[in-house]
Structure 1
Amino acid sequence: MTLSLPLVLTAIFPSKRRLEDLDPPLWVKRLWIFCLCGGMFAFFAQATAFFPILPVYLTERWGSTAPVGLVVGAMAAGVLMLRPLIGIALDKWGRKPLLCLGLLAALLIQPLYLLAHSPEWLLPVRILHGLSQAGVATGSQTLLADLVPPERRAAMMGYLAMANTLGFAFGPWLGTRLYQAGGFEQFIVGLLWLLILGILLSFVLPWLPPPQKSDFPHDGTPSPWSALLYFPVREATFLFLISSLLHGGLTTYLPLLVAETGDFYSLFALGAVVVRWALGQWGHRVSYRFLSTTAFCCSSLALMGIVWQPGWLSSWAILYSLGFGTVFPVLSAIVSLAVPPEQRGRVYSLFLMGFDSGMTLGSAGMGSLLGFAPLSGLFLSWGGLGLGASWVAFRQFARPIPVVEAKNS
């Protein structure tokens, strides 16, 4: 292995050279993947650190009448509204600029939390925080798809998803410790250092120009969003929405159905990390059809099993982690293969909106059905919906997944 300083400097700093022209050695590619996963771990750890702290801070500072739900949910609203615009910018300006801007925006937003004089003042701050998350999450997925060859996409998406999951698990723990040690000010300072780490790691990522035009696999002149109308992007986006709907319903209403659910969430998070690590090791050796079908079957049986045998909650947590931990990396890899590189940012933005919409429908939307059916009946219905999704995956992904890459000339 020969270390080439000019190659590293060319890859890191904004030379806007194509990946084929750089021709980096394997160790450089691995460095890029490591830095991308490390940056996403740092970002999602700071984002999720607010989960246990912000409601407590709002209540302690402004009393029980503070609009906790509105302030906490404003970030998700920002993510949902702005993903399409982020997708357009990713395809027009490139991946690294939006990724770095998202991390920098999150860094600049943190002090604004300390300057808030009322809960209402925090609403635009949370929306801006959501904008940064939309840029970072969509940009990281799209950049990874550009860096990794098609045959390794599912494996590398597994590693990136694992890093995100670790960030989700570590963030609330870190936020609680920081808040207990020095209050909200110490909490914000700790998150600033975490974001600085993410920004430093992002500097190592290559600065690639926007992708060249590709040969679109369908007849006619496509619009920028038309990939969503065709196989397999259409199916992957629909299945991701269904998976997110089931996940939103489970995480919201499980404590109302079963007592002592703390172990379920811990086991589920740990299982999802292990599953995504395994996908990183061996995901490229298994067909997308088998992985997606099996994933939905596991999630569905876990939802039904919680109703049938609530005493086996730990077993259902592990089974559910097998399903949900597999769905995102696999469906994300399918989308990356079938979408032209110059449209990936826009299509990924709508694909990820499926998660935002599904979580909203599963938590807030499904609550309206509680007046018509018992909660146990809803869990069984969600399980049946998941089995229907597994049939869709088994039937539709029997066809070969088209691979669309940029032209070499």
Structure 2
Amino acid sequence: MTVPEDTTAPAAEGPGGIRLGLRANLAQFTLLVAVNALVGGTLGQERTVLPLLAEGVFGLSAYTAALTYIVAFGATKAVTNFFAGTLSDRFGRKPVLVAGWLVALPVPALLIWAPSWGWVIAANVLLGVHQGLSWSTTVVMKIDLVGPERRGLAMGFNEAAGYAAVAATAMATGLIAARHGLRPEPFLLGAAYTALGLGLSVLAVRETREHARAEAARHPAPANPEHHGELTTGEVALITSVRDKALSAASQAGMVNNLNDALAWGIFPLLYAAHGLPVGRIGVLAALYPAVWGVGQMLTGWWSDRVGRKHLITAGMLLQAVAIGLVAAGTSFPVWAAAQVLLGAGTALVYPTLLAAVGDVAHPAWRARAVGVYRLWRDGGFAVGALLSGVLADLYGLTTAIWAVAALTAASGLVVAVRMYETRPCPRP
């Protein structure tokens, strides 16, 4: 992994000789990037295949019924995110990460041998718990390690690794399914990812909670007294969801962003199939959006450290709205491919920048819980998006559902423009 030149002062040393900064913790940071790529791969095993399984194997013709697995995944992941932050503060980051991988072990087998749709839903409940525990913890651990100066860059690498793996696995499973069928071969990748992720987390990942404590010991007191020191989890939830303008704006934007992802995951493949695209080309489209999203975050996270967070988030939400509208208007592979590139670029502007903004505002003493609350809202968007798009598609058709989400995304970007304040007060030149 290539690290941009660091022109800041040397990494600060905290109590017990703990050093903060990307260069000082490069080995562990790189390992956590790899672990999060494996977390993303376990999600990517479903992106192309499950929507087609719902319709072609299990005979679910109603869109709302076919998207129940996304509702189960999103609701479970959202709730697990909330508890992941609290658990990692109480017991440490590494135990939560390992627990997440243990929960993931049965998922590929359930998807391979599911005799009914209920088994698929059960697998996605476990997948949601896994993603909530493991992805949330890698986010918190990277924030712990790098300190305040490289937070956007750290989130860019974390989310890039995860979503590049989602994209690569979505494309790979599409190609495998085109050659061998929808089951079992595509899900064997997920089994391999899970075994490797668990092994690395147990044997090589080190605890990072003391890094957060070292940062807290030298953290300046914020202007707003309610943002300092020890808060109850309820107080953290209220500040993140409502009271703080930046945190609440980030929370709603995160929810709408993942609402879009639920649409792309569950509805877009059905739209492409309805227009006669073969499975292999659907897999390419399913991979293109998270691929651009994943790779782009390595630039946008770093960029937000220089120019600030707010304007990148606003621009990203509006660009997503344009891209979703283009999917609704399109009828051919080239148009849809262009739309996926735009959607990936817009999401890349938003995704790591929102996490960095939460890290900017939240005090290290309760930052893990604030990240958990933010991710509760953000990943609740999976469930909301699946229900909303499924109901609208059943009532009015796929295209109307997609246009409705495009309008909602544009409105979310305007909320950020009006409500959020800049959380990076001294952007670097």
Class of the TM-score when normalised by the shorter of the 2 chains: 0.7 to 0.9
2:154 counterpart SS class? helix
The aligned counterpart of 2:320 is: 299
CA distance in 2, matches of 1:85, 1:167: 25
CA distance in 1, matches of 2:187, 2:408: 41
Checking the alignment, whether the CA contact within 8 Å between 2:97 and 2:133 is kept in structure 1 is yes
Checking the alignment, whether the CA contact within 8 Å between 2:168 and 2:287 is kept in structure 1 is no
Q: Which structure 2 segments of 5+ residues have no match?
A: 1-12
Among 311, 318, 326, which residue is 2:349 paired with?
A: 326
Note the alpha carbon deviations across 1:199-251, whole angstroms, 9 max, x for none.
Answer: 34434333133644674653458432243131311110011112222343355
CA distance in 1, matches of 2:190, 2:225: 49
Letter in 2 for 1:21: G
Question: Which stretch shifts more, 172-181 or 306-315?
Answer: 172-181
Note the alpha carbon deviations across 1:233-279, whole angstroms, 9 max, x for none.
Answer: 11100111122223433554445388348354343233223311322
CA distance in 2, matches of 1:217, 1:110: 49
C-alpha displacement of 1:18? 6.5
The alignment yields a C-alpha RMSD, in angstroms, of: 4.0
The aligned counterpart of 2:305 is: 284
1:273 aligns with 2:294: yes
Question: Which stretch shifts more, 117-126 or 276-285?
Answer: 117-126
Letter in 2 for 1:391: L
C-alpha displacement of 1:323? 0.6
Checking the alignment, whether the CA contact within 8 Å between 1:54 and 1:72 is kept in structure 2 is no
Question: Which stretch shifts more, 315-324 or 118-127?
Answer: 118-127
Q: How many residue pairs align between the two structures?
A: 386
Checking the alignment, whether the CA contact within 8 Å between 1:107 and 1:195 is kept in structure 2 is yes
Kindly tell me: are residues 285 and 25 of structure 1, through their superposed partners in 2, closer, same or farther at Cα, counting changes over 3 Å?
Answer: closer
Kindly tell me: are residues 104 and 389 of structure 1, through their superposed partners in 2, closer, same or farther at Cα, counting changes over 3 Å?
Answer: same
The aligned counterpart of 2:271 is: 256
Letter in 2 for 1:359: F
C-alpha displacement of 1:141? 1.0
1:355 aligns with 2:355: no
CA distance in 2, matches of 1:271, 1:25: 27
1:150 counterpart SS class? coil
Note the alpha carbon deviations across 1:343-384, whole angstroms, 9 max, x for none.
Answer: 223222222222332222223223334577665555444333
CA distance in 2, matches of 1:183, 1:306: 25
Letter in 2 for 1:33: F
Letter in 2 for 1:158: G
Alignment of 1:392-407 (within 5 A): 392-401=415-424
Checking the alignment, whether the CA contact within 8 Å between 1:87 and 1:348 is kept in structure 2 is yes
CA distance in 2, matches of 1:234, 1:287: 17
Kindly tell me: are residues 245 and 22 of structure 1, through their superposed partners in 2, closer, same or farther at Cα, counting changes over 3 Å?
Answer: same
1:198 aligns with 2:189: no
Question: Which stretch shifts more, 293-302 or 50-59?
Answer: 50-59
Letter in 2 for 1:242: V
The aligned counterpart of 2:136 is: 138
CA distance in 2, matches of 1:123, 1:205: 31
The aligned counterpart of 2:4 is: none
Question: Which stretch shifts more, 267-276 or 251-260?
Answer: 251-260
Checking the alignment, whether the CA contact within 8 Å between 1:227 and 1:339 is kept in structure 2 is no
1:209 aligns with 2:215: no
CA distance in 1, matches of 2:296, 2:190: 28
C-alpha displacement of 1:126? 4.5
Question: Which stretch shifts more, 183-192 or 339-348?
Answer: 183-192
Note the alpha carbon deviations across 1:279-308, whole angstroms, 9 max, x for none.
Answer: 255442222122112112211222334455
The aligned counterpart of 1:5 is: none
Checking the alignment, whether the CA contact within 8 Å between 1:84 and 1:350 is kept in structure 2 is yes
The aligned counterpart of 1:386 is: 409
Among 227, 235, 238, which residue is 2:239 paired with?
A: 227
The aligned counterpart of 2:25 is: 29
CA distance in 2, matches of 1:127, 1:399: 36
C-alpha displacement of 1:155? 1.6
Letter in 1 for 2:224: H
Checking the alignment, whether the CA contact within 8 Å between 2:163 and 2:290 is kept in structure 1 is yes
Question: Which stretch shifts more, 92-101 or 365-374?
Answer: 365-374
Kindly tell me: are residues 192 and 373 of structure 1, through their superposed partners in 2, closer, same or farther at Cα, counting changes over 3 Å?
Answer: closer
Q: Which structure 1 segments of 5+ residues have no match?
A: 1-16, 404-409
Kindly tell me: are residues 330 and 59 of structure 1, through their superposed partners in 2, closer, same or farther at Cα, counting changes over 3 Å?
Answer: closer
CA distance in 2, matches of 1:124, 1:238: 28
Checking the alignment, whether the CA contact within 8 Å between 2:74 and 2:383 is kept in structure 1 is no
CA distance in 2, matches of 1:163, 1:270: 10
Kindly tell me: are residues 69 and 377 of structure 1, through their superposed partners in 2, closer, same or farther at Cα, counting changes over 3 Å?
Answer: closer
2:149 counterpart SS class? helix
TM-score by length of 1: 0.77
C-alpha displacement of 1:319? 1.9
Kindly tell me: are residues 217 and 104 of structure 1, through their superposed partners in 2, closer, same or farther at Cα, counting changes over 3 Å?
Answer: farther
Kindly tell me: are residues 73 and 366 of structure 1, through their superposed partners in 2, closer, same or farther at Cα, counting changes over 3 Å?
Answer: closer
CA distance in 1, matches of 2:329, 2:312: 25
